[in-house]
Structure 1
Amino acid sequence: MKIKQAMTGEVCVATPDETIQKAAQLMLGLDIGMIPVADGDQLVGMITDRDIAVRGVAAGLGVDTLVRDVMTADVKYCFDDDEIEDVLDNLGEIQLRRLPVVNRDKRLVGIVSLSDLARSKAPDKAGIALGEIARPGGEHSQAAF
């Protein structure tokens, strides 16, 4: 089964020149924590609620800060004709729960989440991927002593 059969095709995007406040309001309205950033139909980044909190607010930046100043420009993605099993393996390896989906011209065509894939024909593989995604990354400052 191909990713295009499991992905969400209608994706809300932010532009690099929007403010982080507008991006946060969009996330609030859609009850999501991540938005692809596109310039036209070209994927140029991703912005998460964590990017806004850590790279924006915690760094002392204001609500008028541009998305381009806090977004992640090194975007991981998959192709719409990739096999679901291959994407699940990749999600586990890179420890991500969702990926933007592009076509072979690298135009944004959708987004796929681990939950989309769990509802597909590969729920066992989705569980394995989640186990990889959730693996501990080392000692954290909040760890009990």
Structure 2
Amino acid sequence: MQTLKTVMSPHVKVISPEATISEAAKQMRDGGFGMLPVGENDRMIGAISDRDLTVRALAEGKSGNTKIREIMSPGIVWAYESDSVEEGARVMSEHQVRRLPIVNSEKRLVGIVSLGDFAVESADLHAVGATLSEISVPAFK
């Protein structure tokens, strides 16, 4: 069984909800990230993605000084590093997310898995295609 630990990227950063969206955009650009978990009091409380920056900030005329808390996606789903790749794909499909934070047994953030990681690292390209198809179904009309 291939675990999420074998396909995850260990290079993940957390950003404060009090940081600005400009700071988030710069961290994403500099790190090549499309999503940052938002952490407060040693807990993940949400996430901010490049899509949030576009749809919830730029399209709404927010300034670069807007706090992440105002536009982040609240709540966050995650998986354990010991979970199978299939379980990670199931969670991503169920919640329609393209990036999934990975925690260890102490629930400490240790990495992140993207749909692209599955495509590069997984031998089961059929499962990758099925996951992408399920993630891409519109959540609302």
Work out whether the TM-score is over 0.5: yes
Shift of 1:84: 0.9
Corresponding position of 1:91: 92
Shift of 1:110: 0.7
Root-mean-square deviation (CA), in Å?
2.1
User: Matches of residues 1-145 of structure 1 in structure 2 within 5 Å?
Assistant: 1-39=2-40, 41-118=42-119, 119-137=121-139
Deviations 1:21-72 (A, max 9, x none): 0111112223332111223653222101221233223333321111122111
1:107/1:121 CA distance change after superposition, 3 Å = same
Count how many residue pairs are aligned between Structure 1 and Structure 2: 139
Shift of 1:124: 2.4
1:57/1:135 CA distance change after superposition, 3 Å = closer
Q: Is the 8 A contact 1:43 1:107 kept in 2?
A: no
Distance 1:101 1:110 in 2: 5
Distance 1:136 1:61 in 2: 25
Corresponding position of 1:142: none
Name the TM-score, length of structure 2 as normaliser: 0.84
Residue type matched to 2:133 in 1? G
The runs of 5 or more residues in structure 1 that have no matched partner are 140-145
1:138/1:52 CA distance change after superposition, 3 Å = closer
The runs of 5 or more residues in structure 2 that have no matched partner are none
Compare 51-60 and 10-19 and name the one that shifted more: 51-60
Distance 2:35 2:95 in 1: 17
1:68/1:136 CA distance change after superposition, 3 Å = closer
Q: Give the 3-state SS of the residue equivalent to 2:29 in structure 1.
A: helix
> Taking every aligned residue pair, what percent have the same amino acid on both sides?
39
1:138/1:74 CA distance change after superposition, 3 Å = closer
